[in-house]
Structure 1
């Protein structure tokens, strides 16, 4: 196999990527993904080993800005590098996003990859990155009003008491500030009900709970997210679940009764239909001698007709 002729020459003669302005920039853009420094956050899923979170404390993505940071006005954001509509599984989306962000971080720092599986921190940063993109897409005016403190928050912001948390995401206020609950349980993350990411999160929660019903799925979702009209969204997603359709199925329906047989609806002369039945043995005791003996019963049924009615 023959490659490019420049590969056989000195490294100084290799072409330079135009996406990088200089090596001294604090934030560089590669594959339209922005990188910056942010503190480590909690893991996304409680089922992930905590050892992964301890191994990687470096940040993988900046979830606070979506501006063009290149002098050529290249759009910045992971949504320009990945199409979220091409994914149906939420965990698959997070893992691919974590690999993309790791690649950009290693490319920026000129490091070698020392691990294979994505860590809990990388998965969590990928999730926060996608949620930040969705919120900026649907609630851009609300975020701008809260940051500028213009007091033009809108009806949704007043109703839910929205605020921007430490993770730069929109959270609901509520009245559970003094409760001994997790931060996301007291102040869930706001998600739009129309976005594809919301539907993936609902489906992932439903599968993670072993295909439980709507109420259990809603309860688990509200421990971290706040979705307007959540019951309608959950019911729509559960109706699309193939596994639940196969297991549940339709309720038992009583079959249609068959027509009566001919001999039950047509009048016939007496003794035309007879029946006999034989049963035993039965043990009977003689009252005089107190000895037990066997007895058999022969039952003869004769179909009679009297005037307009039939008796047996």
Structure 2
């Protein structure tokens, strides 16, 4: 059976996803409450996996908890922390638990996190992980022959950065991901609709990969400048920084900017992926202001 996300991406309508961060501790109740409030607004919820190389609860665990309450999770899997045996085990386990959507990531380097002396594994990168998903879906044993207990039926996706200065290198990279088995693309934050339009028309559409355009909630001008400084590939224009700086209510202005982006991006891409780090409760308001609330799943 196909996931809600896969069915939506293959339909004529738009697809809306949002990001949920696992808890930094053993109690998942707050994360689950945030997810429940988003249930009627999104087709799927993407659960981060050690984003920015910071310890949090296992993405696999939270995905299972979301699945148990009727939500469609997207399991992020980063290659940074596991060798191939551990990655293979998690893929098989996710499928057994009923988790179908997988976003295959290389992962942020440990040096950017809060435990920079941690040993980094990175035996696979995102392309290697996509190939592994494809192989398991075909029932191929990683050592030899066929999987004795049957194949997986995972729905793999990949990340993309439309702000990449070289479209030629970006196209080559995404061709490799498509050939490795990627079925959809989720982008990094995009601030300029023209950048997204060029990316879709020149790269993603020719590869026949549906795009979920990244919409990122900015909280203040200081927040925007910090992201520009520390996040690779971030390119928040001065016009947006100035809007936040001149606003008497920067938090509300950030919601307005994100809602405007959702409206504009839905005319260019298959859907949007809304990221509101540590402010997931604001995603519903962003989507409501954009006029895409209460989606039929």
TM-score bracket, shorter-length normalisation? under 0.3
Report which of the two has the higher share of helix: 2
Structure with the bigger RCO (C-alpha within 8 Å, sep 6+) is 2
Whose Rg is larger? 1
